[in-house]
Amino acid sequence: MSDPHSLRRRTFLGGSAALGAASMAQAQSGGLPAGTVSIVVPYGAGSTNDIIARLVAPEVSALLGHTVVIENRPGAGGTLGIGQVVRARPDGLTLALVSASSIPINKALYRNLPFDPVRDLTLLVIAGSTPNALVVSADSGINSLADLIALGKRPGQPPLRHFSPGNGTSQHLSCAQLATLTGLTVENVPYRGPAEGLTGMMAGETNFGFASVPSVVGLIRDGRLRALGTTGPRESTLAGVPTLVWMGYPGFGDTDVWYGIAAPKGMPAGTQALLRSAFGRALADDGLKQRLQRAGFDPVPPSTPEQLDAFVQTQVAFWADLVRTSGATLD
């Protein structure tokens, strides 16, 4: 690995061209160039993506010996932040917090992106997953999914209104899937983000919605929201809340939302191995596992690069089919 002090001296003497050559040579040998590691989160502060990134970053920073910072770059359904990482030098200093929304869902929704989130990114690790919870306001009088369905099918009842953080998000697609499977007629009310959607529902603007468990666990514990069920194949960290699969809707078994770390394509193998190892060791730490679970995330077993590539391809096919059958459109 090149001496960081020597690298700085070459920078002063040779400018950005020297820095680029030194950085890539160092990365090729399996190290990181001097500098801060940025994890670009393509959604705002307080989002589920942001929560998991901020939990993982300090642990990885200690293992890498580099400062790791979170850079929130929201906009255009996550494509602004992802595009920034796609265009970055693949030296290990610029990474993306990616998810089911930012890779397979956006690939299905956006036809004219200047990049391909599958082709132009390398998924290094999956940090965790979380189901979406079907929630209503605690004072709504709706105590179960059966109550919600009965309300939606009451004679003369207008379409049920559900909130979402935008058209084509996993939360919107979960609502569309619920409508298809139960025969409900629903109307999507997109908000700027999950917090605004939850606030609107509690103010009576909508009847229900899906939200990631980390974004609602505190409101459920405080008694302000009621969870009627969760997506995914397993019970979540919300004690006593049944899965929609258990309630007779097996189509929800594959809709956990996963979160991972990705890098620009073209990253040298040595740098990939270094980063995979650091993130893997951090995620194996019992203390971090407990903090992630308290926040509402489920651990995910480690995967090889080949397994991750196969997983992404499977996810692309699954979400593309759900986008197509749901009729989801962009704002």
- Write b or e for each residue in 278-311: b if 16 or more Cβ atoms lie within 10 A of its Cβ, otherwise e: bbbebbeeeebeeebeebbbbebeebeeeebeeb
Task: List, for residues 218-270, the tens digit of each pLDDT value.
Answer: 999 999 999 999 999 888 888 899 999 999 999 898 888 999 999 999 999 99
Which residue's structure tokens are 């307080």?
46
**CATH architecture for residues 35-130+258-326:** 3-Layer(aba) Sandwich (3.40)
Which residue's structure tokens are 């919300």?
238
pTM here is 0.85
Which numeric CATH code is attached to 132-254? 3.40.190.10
CATH 3.40.190.150 boundaries in the chain: 35-130+258-326
Predicted local confidence at residue 7, as pLDDT: 29
Tell me what the pLDDT averaged over the chain comes to: 89
Confidence tier at 15 by pLDDT (50, 70, 90):
very low
Predicted local confidence at residue 46, as pLDDT: 87
CATH 3.40.190.10 boundaries in the chain: 132-254
Helix, strand, coil percent content, the chain, rounded in steps of 5: 45, 20, 35
Residues 6+ apart with CB under 8 A from 84: 40, 73, 94
Task: List, for residues 120-153, the tens digit of each pLDDT value.
Answer: 999 999 999 999 999 999 999 999 999 999 999 9
Check whether 326 has a pLDDT greater than 60: yes
> Which tokens is 44 given?
């705002």
> Which tokens is 280 given?
């893997």
Predicted local confidence at residue 194, as pLDDT: 86
Q: Which amino acid is at 141?
A: G
3-class secondary structure, 96 = strand
Check whether 32 has a pLDDT greater than 70: yes
Confidence tier at 286 by pLDDT (50, 70, 90):
very high
Please tell me the total number of residues recorded for the chain in this structure: 331
Confidence tier at 30 by pLDDT (50, 70, 90):
low
Q: Higher model confidence: residue 28 or residue 275?
A: 275
Q: What is the mean pLDDT of residues 4-29?
A: 36
Check whether 159 has a pLDDT greater than 60: yes
Q: Answer whether 270's CB lies under 8 Å from 30's CB.
A: yes
Q: Answer whether 99's CB lies under 8 Å from 312's CB.
A: no
Task: List, for residues 65-110, the tens digit of each pLDDT value.
Answer: 999 999 999 988 899 999 999 999 999 999 999 999 999 999 999 8
